[in-house]
Amino acid sequence: MGEGNGCCAKKGPGYASPIDAMSGPRETLLYVTCVYNGTGIEKPDYLGTVDVDPNSPTYSQVIHRLPVPYVGDELHHSGWNSCSSCHGDPSAIRRFLIMPSLLSSRVYVVDTATEPRTPSLHKVVDPTEIAEKTGLAYPHTSHCLASGDIMISCLGDPQGNAKGNGFLLLDSEFNVKGRWEKPGHSPAFGYDYWYQPRHKTMISSSWGAPCAFSKGFDLQHVKDGLYGRHLSVYSWPDGELKQTLDLGDSGLLPLEIRFLHDPSKDTGFVGCALTSNMVRFFKTADGSWSHEFSISVKPLKVKNWILPEMPGLITDFLLSLDDRYLYFVNWLHGDIRQYSIVDPSNPILTGQVWVGGLLQKGSDVVYLTDDGEEAQFDVPLVKGNRLRGGPQMIQLSLDGKRLYVTNSLFSVWDNQFYPDLSKKGSHILQIDVDTEKGGLSINPDFFVDFGAEPDGPALAHEMRYPGGDCTSDIWI
């Protein structure tokens, strides 16, 4: 985000504020984690570089692929060695993309600065060393800290038990330092986290036990207590577990979590996937934290599916850099939504578009309207292609006008809910955003087809811009 140009020439990476970031340059490249694990193709996962410059002859194409050295990693999320949290440090450089492997527990460090169009592998952090020094495995979310360290949430121990989860610290040379949280202060389950230093708080979310989710989704595992429903509130930066928020039976599988970008704000949101609720958390007058259910997606009565009702399954969401809009996806229903959150306690639906899902016309599955009629959603072809899977990871342009969307969640869950996805491959779409009145529409000229990859169809997951974005950067 804005390294080395104009007013930022003597500053560190990123921007001084989220509002400054909105005036940054338009994105021209997109990095996306691409997965062969679980698809039947015995090839390494890779980092794809996508050209998103509309003036380029290779617009909306994969222009480079960096395969990792091993097979079976399940690349998933990624983060930077340095971001806007280090903006005040002129010696800090956003040079390396940190790519934890969800299943193998390797952590890859990729140099994106030397040649942004053709990133190269810089280092591999060995999972054996991580396990020996910390007892951690199944790494997920990576954020840089103002100290120069890297912090990665880990979802369990090497045996796949949730109770071994916690937070891995790497130093600026990517050596294993230890755990971040104080001994005895690990959460019940791990997944995502976000910190808000002015409020001296970090809050983490809960997916489930790796021994459960890595085998596919089973409702019995929810009943057996192998999935989470809590938020863990930590003191920042010292890692003391201060409070646990129980979201109850309506808050099952709280996944992505974000504070508002404005570092003075003491509120944020988390998406509860299984029960398809957005939860708002906030600081109370006595300094403790509370929560309320903010948006609810009603399950649909369906026919020809594994259950009589289908949840939306909110698997990702994000906030525009000016904190005006919240966007989330329903991976099973197939829609992306835009809400105005000018008043965070009163979200208002301002845009909605269907880009896939299990209920699109031509699918075997139908939903029942309130009148008992069978119905399906209209989903357009994009550049002649029927849309596959459902909307999953999203990324927003800095100016808030373009939303990119992939469709793969996690290979074993993809194979369960969208069995054709690993055969036909993922795609990336671009959604045009009306930031004045609200509204979403599919860009008919943008379609990145991972069904046509040289080694066969691949699954595309999380996206990053070389200069940072609204889900990677934190302001202090």
Per residue in 61-95, pLDDT (tens digit) is 999 999 999 999 999 999 999 999 999 999 999 99
**Is residue 24 domain-resident?**
yes
End-to-end CA distance of the chain: 15
CB atoms within 10 A of CB 25: 12
Reported confidence tier of residue 1, pLDDT bands at 50, 70, 90: very low
State the pTM of this model. Answer: 0.97
**Is residue 224 domain-resident?**
yes
Instruction: Please tell me the predicted confidence (pLDDT) of residue 5.
Output: 35
Edge-to-edge strands, sheet with 267-272:
254-259, 267-272, 277-283, 289-296
Per residue in 371-411, pLDDT tens?
A: 999 999 999 999 999 999 999 999 999 999 999 999 999 99
In this predicted structure, the answer to whether residue 47 has a pLDDT above a threshold of 90 is: yes
3-class DSSP assignment, residue 346: coil
Contact at 8 Å (CB) between 72 and 106?
A: no
What are 442's two structure tokens?
A: 């599919």
**Is residue 209 domain-resident?**
yes
Reported confidence tier of residue 11, pLDDT bands at 50, 70, 90: confident
**Is residue 8 domain-resident?**
no
Burial of 43 (0-12, 13-18, 19+ CB in 10 A): middle
Report the distance separating Cα 422 and Cα 408, nearest Å.
9
Edge-to-edge strands, sheet with 427-433:
394-396, 402-405, 427-433, 440-449
Among 428, 433, 434, 415, residue whose Cα is nearest residue 463:
428
Report the distance separating Cα 29 and Cα 32, nearest Å.
10
Which residues does 278 contact at the CB level (< 8 Å), separation at least 6? 269, 270, 271, 272, 293, 294, 295, 296, 314, 317, 326, 328, 347
3-class DSSP assignment, residue 354: strand
Per residue in 335-371, pLDDT tens?
A: 999 999 999 999 999 999 999 999 999 999 999 999 9
**Is residue 7 domain-resident?**
no
Residue 190 sits at the vertex; the CA angle it makes with 98 and 459, to the nearest 5 degrees, is: 50
Contact at 8 Å (CB) between 33 and 45?
A: yes
Instruction: Please tell me the predicted confidence (pLDDT) of residue 37.
Output: 98
CB atoms within 10 A of CB 65: 17
In this predicted structure, the answer to whether residue 7 has a pLDDT above a threshold of 90 is: no
- The number of residues in the chain equals 476
Find the mean pLDDT for residues 440-446: 98
**Is residue 6 domain-resident?**
no
Find the mean pLDDT for residues 425-448: 98
**Is residue 475 domain-resident?**
no
Q: What CATH number did the domain enclosing 48 receive? A: 2.130.10.10
Per residue in 170-213, pLDDT tens?
A: 999 999 999 999 999 999 999 999 999 999 999 999 999 999 99
In sequence order, the β-bridge partners of residue 440 are: 433
Find the mean pLDDT for residues 88-114: 96
Contact at 8 Å (CB) between 263 and 243?
A: no
Q: What is the pLDDT of the chain when averaged over all its residues?
A: 96
CA distances 258 to 326, 445, 461, Å, are: 10, 31, 19
Residue 294: which domain range? Answer: 18-464
**Is residue 1 domain-resident?**
no
Q: What is the DSSP letter of 298?
A: P
Instruction: Please tell me the predicted confidence (pLDDT) of residue 429.
Output: 98
Give the total number of structural domains in the chain: 1
Per residue in 199-249, pLDDT tens?
A: 999 999 999 999 999 999 999 999 999 999 999 999 999 999 999 999 999
Which residues does 317 contact at the CB level (< 8 Å), separation at least 6? 256, 258, 269, 271, 278, 326, 327, 328, 329, 394
